[in-house]
Amino acid sequence: KGVYFIRTNHQKTDEAMLWDIYNTIREVEATFRSLKSDLNLRPVHHQNDQRIEAHLYLTILAYQLVNTVRYMLKQKGINYDWKNIVRIMSTQKIQTVKLPTDKKVIHLRKPSVPIKEVRQIYDATNCEHTQSAQKKYVVYY
């Protein structure tokens, strides 16, 4: 049996609450590490205040999106980190075939069949994953 120590200056907080706070901090740090590595949202040295604000806004928006997806998955008992979620979801593909003809191009689009883990993520995030029929559209030029 191991022992784990957390040092704090909060004297009126019980052990369970301290453990929850510690785990929340770990989650936030892990998410920001993920944002920097997996999403390539690294510090960008902008010269313009509007660009700095836009970059910060997009980073916070990305963090919120990652956090929301992970929260929805945890509610369904799926405890993947963001890197694993991206790896699993990257198995879902869509194929587009372009068929040029006289004065038009025919586009055919067909999604791949989602694997079990992808379907679980779709279900947990309330996203539709039914195999849609092949889509065809024509572009005239």
Q: Where are the domains of the chain?
A: 15-87, 93-140
The token pair at 32 is 């920001």
- The whole-number pLDDT of residue 140 equals 76
Total-model pTM: 0.65
Quick check: helix, strand or coil at residue 30?
Answer: helix
Query: Do the beta carbons of residue 86 and residue 38 sit within 8 Å?
Result: yes
- The whole-number pLDDT of residue 122 equals 96
CA-to-CA distance for 97 and 77, rounded, in angstroms? 38
CA-to-CA distance for 137 and 130, rounded, in angstroms? 20
CA-to-CA distance for 115 and 123, rounded, in angstroms? 12
- The whole-number pLDDT of residue 92 equals 93
120: CB partners within 8 A, 6+ apart: 76, 78
Each of the 141 residues of the chain gets a pLDDT tens digit; together they read 888 788 888 888 888 898 888 888 888 888 777 777 766 666 677 788 888 888 878 888 888 898 899 999 999 999 998 889 999 999 999 888 888 888 888 888 888 899 999 999 999 999 987 766 667 677 777
- The whole-number pLDDT of residue 85 equals 94
Among the residues of the chain, which ranges form H helices? 15-37, 49-75, 82-89, 116-124
- The whole-number pLDDT of residue 72 equals 97
Residue-level length of the chain: 141
Q: What does the radius of gyration of the chain's CA atoms come to, in whole angstroms?
A: 22
- The whole-number pLDDT of residue 116 equals 95
Report residue 18: phi and psi, to 5°: -60, -40
- The whole-number pLDDT of residue 124 equals 97
